[in-house]
Structure 1
Amino acid sequence: MVIIRLARHGCKKKPFYKIVVADTRFPRNGRFIEKIGYFNPIKSKKKNNIFINIKKLKYWKKIGVKITSRIKYLINKIKEEKL
């Protein structure tokens, strides 16, 4: 099964997440199919803390990829900022 999820990077107590399309059989920070964005929770006050490539997201959703709840939350957050 293929899923869109967060992969944790960065150093201790300074997380940085990549939004990736990956197979569920592989570890969280392991092999992935494609990187479609990033999330930096440390830069929460600034607008550039979340980026998701919408074209790639729509492509993978059309194929039928499962999306984690945290990614759904981030997508909704981006939609709210645009309004």
Structure 2
Amino acid sequence: MVVIRLSRGGSKGRPFFNIVVADKRVRRDGRFIERVGFYNPSARDGEEGLRVAQDRVSYWTGVGAQVSPTVERLLRTSQKALAAAPAAAA
């Protein structure tokens, strides 16, 4: 089974996560099929904390990939931010 999940990077005390498409049997930080974004929980004021390629995520879910609960929560927050951005610009 293919799953969309987080892969941890960064140093001790400064986590950084890649959002990857991987085989479920492969370890968390191991080999992956495609990197579809990143999440930086320790992003400061001007830094980008989350970037997701929505088109690639929708493709992979369309062909049967399962989304982990944490990535699903991050996707919901990114979609809310995208919906609020045009309203704030207008």
- Give the TM-score category using the shorter length: over 0.9
Q: Compute the RMSD of aligned alpha carbons.
A: 1.3
Structure number with greater Rg is 2
Q: Normalization by structure 2: what TM-score?
A: 0.86
Unaligned runs of 5+ in 2: 85-90
Unaligned runs of 5+ in 1: none
Paired residue type of 1:69:
P
1:53 aligns with 53
Matched residue pairs, number? 83
Q: Once the 2 structures are TM-superposed, how far is the Cα of residue 79 of structure 1 from its aligned partner?
A: 1.5
Alignment CA distance shift 1:80-1:41 (3 Å) = same
Paired residue type of 2:76:
N
1:32 aligns with 32
- Partner-residue secondary structure (3-state), 2:32: coil
Q: Normalization by structure 1: what TM-score?
A: 0.93
